[in-house]
Amino acid sequence: MDELATLLGRVVLRDRAAFTRLYDLTSAKLFAIALRILRDKGDADEALQEVYIKVWRRAERYQPEQGSPMTWLAAIARNHAIDLIRARKPEASSIEEAFDLAAESAGPEEDAINASEGRRIDRCMQTLESDKAEAVRRAYVEGLSYQELADTYKVPLNTMRTWLRRSLIKLRECLEQ
């Protein structure tokens, strides 16, 4: 991954050859991330182009001490795809509604039940410490791996696993009340 860091450094200097090489090395993974979130090849293609425009414009924002270049690039792709989802469905008011786009409405009664469940989940998420709640969201909504989260929060991998396991247990207990 040292090559990616070097390439990002050269992109900061507007080196087009480095940008092309960076694209060649990373575009397949970033496309897969966008496709997983957007669930449409055309949308994922467009999102990927916009992601690389952001990378070109913001390469100087990459900070090696905060994680690997691939983690940084994946976060840009993930966040951009999620922003596109949010733009499509601005009325979403909970985690469940915002990210479960595949579910279709079965009527007003089910909509009311889903909204109520979303509020319950939001209420229970608020019982977690803010960093733990954010880690849960990033793991189970954005799809970050345990290792990516451990790198982001600067904690050992097993500590991150413990955070998530304990947070899920606390959420389950809250939801069962």
What secondary structure letter does DSSP report for 154?
T
Q: What's the pTM value of the predicted model, to 2 decimals?
A: 0.51
Structural domains of the chain in order of their starting residue, each with its CATH number: 1-88 (1.10.1740.10)
- Above 90 in pLDDT, residue 148? no
CA distances 152 to 61, 76, 108, 149, Å, are 15, 14, 40, 5
Residue type at position 34: A
d(CA 55, CA 58): 5
> 59-111 pLDDT, tens per residue?
999 988 888 899 999 999 999 998 888 777 544 344 454 455 444 444 555 55
